[in-house]
Structure 1
Amino acid sequence: MRHSRHASYHKGELIAQERAGFRESAEHLRAIIDDRLPRGAQGFLAELPFLVVGAAAPDARVWASIVYGRPGFLRVIGPREVLVAAHLPETDPLAAALADSAHVGTLAIDLPHRRRLRVNGRTEAVPEGFTLTVDQAYGNCPKYIQSREPEGAVSVPAVSRVTRGRELRPEQRHMIDTADTFFVASTSTTGDADVSHRGGNRGFTRTLTPQRLQWPEYEGNTMLMTLGNLTVNPAAGLLFVDWHAGTTLQLTGTAAIDWNTRTAVGAHGAETAVDFRVAEVIQTDLPTGSLNWSEPLFSRFNPPTPSASPGDRSDPRARTEDQRHDQAGRTGA
């Protein structure tokens, strides 16, 4: 386990940063990574209704999962410790890992306000859920986050049905091909875990076959922690969420980086692309009405995609951030 105050980037991160030409920038940014929670973390975490978790399951497959709770279920209990007072359902592929101790990456993300905090460390099971001892904590910029508001009271959803498969069904491919957000989990060769956000206009991720999908890597913070992990360990897990029905798709498999920008999914603004091969798919359905988030307010940073224009005009309820600012100016807000 890396203690960020005293450790540098690992080998894979250094290779990825060098390949992308980001070494100098990444070295400057290393100072933002701490092994203590930042000031304001307590209030920030207390407002959130879910936490994204990434880790390796006991069989070494990497997954990304989502833990739901009523606001307040994430509690700072020390400078380097967070209590997550919730459990994954027994059907989740990471339930067994979190029932013991595990290296995990977590992402606390505030969708309405486009704020996010990554906290990586080690968990210990407790009756309420698990504690997370911080190894790395740092904030990320709001780029590519689509703003959404919860509609109705926040509840802790129950699982109604779980299905598994080795490839994507047509309706699952459609869910991925029209997604504007997903999460990717990865691990280093020493087992340190990380989970991060990927966002763009609808269509930025596309399925190529029932067992293969691809997404562009847009300009980010230049630390390349996800790509660094994938450089030395291709195992990865993806999480897609239907923000209306609450259905989740969890994919585990292997990821390969295509550093040729000319083949980066044909997407404007892509620096590289990632090709993902599916080994297993888990779909979890929730009871109707369990979760319901508003239509997205698309980030103004999203590059255009081949199948969607900024603001995705196929849906009149969806607006870009620039459109909201224009409307605010006209109404005097």
Structure 2
Amino acid sequence: MSFHDGEITVQTQAGVRDEAQRLCHVISSTIKPSAQEFLCTQQLAVASTVDVNGKVWASLLTGQPGFVQVLNEQNLQINVTLIHIDPVHHNLQNNNDIGLLVIDLTNRRRLRLNGKAEVNHENVKVQIQQAFFNCPKYIQVRHIEKTVTDSLGKTEAFIRDTLSDTNQLWIAQSDTFFIASYHPESGADASHRGGFPGFVQVVNSNKLVFPDYSGNNMFQTFGNLIVNPKAGLLFIDFAQGHTLQLTGKAKVIWDAERLSEFAGAQRLVEFDIEQVLKIRNACSLRWQFGEYSPVNPG
């Protein structure tokens, strides 16, 4: 596997180009046995997709253990009934690029899978182009508490152009979110971000700023953003099953003076919000908080 120009640009600016190149071997074009074993027990995934206007969205996918089913080393099937008010179904009919992050919050494990999707109402089939595990950094431990399908309330969607006061409070108190990015040639990607509550700064109803901490130095997300600033963010209310999806444009900030405002920040991201989608009762799973990551800065 090789990196695209955007990834190489960020790796070079960060001074980790040689280290990133040495890590290239961890990216596989097949689903290796360790990944297959991991997937058969998982219940939470985040999908990165692109709408007809080129906006990038991060969407929550959940199901029974193993709902992301491996068909063979090149193909998998996501057995999930997609919520019609989430853009993921319509997006994949328009653009079949998909990025997946399958994450185990209890054991701090995460697997990224990027490829091409074929969608219908009962499942999504994905032909894999990239598959690789990420490190456990900044993942807060959470345990799946119970499945509450029988008492799940009505799913409702609220669409806005700006963050409400309630949305802003939600984000300001969050310790976890997910980011979706897209490269026109290399495809879609979904990634995890974590820190102590408050690590995402709400500037106003249209702008967020958040730090980028030391990671795997491959810079798939940032490499995509350098080429295409359109991105999507997903915040999950783990206790209630609600989601908050933002789509907009991201700008990478390297200014040392601004970095000093955020403990542990290697870079910053300014995110300008173009659309907000809140979905109540987006999933039937609930999570109980366990503990913060021991490597969270600050």
Same fold flag (TM > 0.5): yes
Task: Tell me the residue number matched to 1:266.
Answer: 261
Secondary structure at 2:127 match in 1: strand
Looking at structure 2, the residues matched to 119 and 275 of structure 1 have their Cα atoms a distance apart, in angstroms, of 26
Counterparts of 2:213 and 2:179 in 1: how far apart (Å)?
14
Are residues 286 and 154 of structure 1, via their aligned partners in 2, closer, same or farther at CA, if it must alter by over 3 Å? closer
Partner of 1:312: none
Q: Is the aligned partner of 1:230 residue 2:190?
A: no
Structure of higher CA gyration radius? 1
| Separation of aligned partners in 1, 2:88 and 2:146 | 29
Q: Give unmatched runs, 5+ long, in structure 1.
A: 305-333
Q: Provide the rounded CA distance (Å) in 1 between the counterparts of 2:268 and 2:242.
A: 26
Alpha-carbon distance change, 173 to 291 in structure 1, aligned in 2, over 3 angstroms: same
Give the alignment's Cα RMSD to 1 decimal.
Answer: 1.8
Give 1:73's match in structure 2, choosing from 67, 73, 81: 67
8 Å contact kept, 2:89–2:119: no
Q: SS at 1:60's partner residue? A: coil
Give the equivalent residue in structure 2 for 1:58: 52
Answering whether residue 191 of structure 2 is matched by residue 196 of structure 1, we say yes
Q: Any residues of structure 2 matched to 1:23-42 within 5 Å, and which? A: 23-42=17-36
Instruction: Return the alpha-carbon distance in structure 1 between the equivalents of residues 235 and 251 of structure 2.
Output: 19
1:280 matched to 2:291? The reply is no
Q: CA deviation at 1:159?
A: 5.2
TM-score normalized with structure 2 length? 0.95
5 Å matches for 1:86-235?
Answer: 86-99=80-93, 102-126=96-120, 128-153=122-147, 155=149, 160-190=155-185, 192-235=187-230
| TM score, norm. by length of structure 1 | 0.85
Whether contact under 8 Å (1:101, 1:125) holds in the other structure is no
2:297 corresponding residue in structure 1 = 303
Is the 8 Å Cα contact of residues 41 and 76 (structure 1) preserved in structure 2? no
How far apart are residue 72 of structure 1 and its match?
Answer: 2.4
Contact 2:105 2:140 in 1 (8 A): yes
Percent sequence identity over matched residues?
Answer: 37
Q: 1:200, CA displacement in angstroms? A: 0.5
State the alpha-carbon separation in 2 of the partners of residues 215 and 109 from structure 1.
21
SS of match in other structure, 2:141: coil
Partner Cα separation in structure 1 for residue 9 and residue 159 of structure 2 = 35
Larger mean Cα displacement after TM superposition, 70-79 or 108-117: 70-79
1:195 maps to amino acid = A
Deviations 1:225-249 (A, max 9, x none): 1010001110000000011011110
- 1:99, distance to aligned residue in structure 2 (A): 4.4
Q: Aligned-pair distance for 1:57?
A: 1.2
Residue 48 in structure 1 maps to residue 42 in structure 2: yes
1:22-66 Cα shifts (integer Å, max 9, x gaps)? 101100001100100122222311211221000111221100001
Asked if the contact 1:49/1:154 (under 8 Å) is kept, the reply is no
> Which whole-Å CA distance do the structure 2 matches of 1:296 and 1:262 have between them?
34
Q: In structure 2, what residue type is equivalent to 1:233?
A: N
Output the amino acid matched with 2:155: S
List per-residue Cα deviations over 1:95-137 (Å, max 9, x = no partner). 2123466111100000000000000000012453111111000
2:30 is paired with a residue of what secondary structure?
coil
* C-alpha separation in 1, matches of 2:47 and 2:265: 26
Take 1:68 and 1:47, find their aligned partners in 2: how far apart are those partners? Answer: 12
* Contact 1:167–1:210 (Cα < 8 Å) also in 2: yes
93-102 vs 241-250, greater mean Cα deviation? 93-102
- Bigger share in strand: 2
- For 1:266 and 1:244, the matched residues in 2 are separated by 30
Query: Secondary structure of 2:250's match?
Result: strand
Counterpart of 1:314 in structure 2 is none
Q: Secondary structure at the match of 2:142?
A: coil
Partner of 2:79: 85
How many residue pairs were aligned? 297
Amino acid at match of 1:21: G
Q: Secondary structure at the match of 2:143?
A: coil
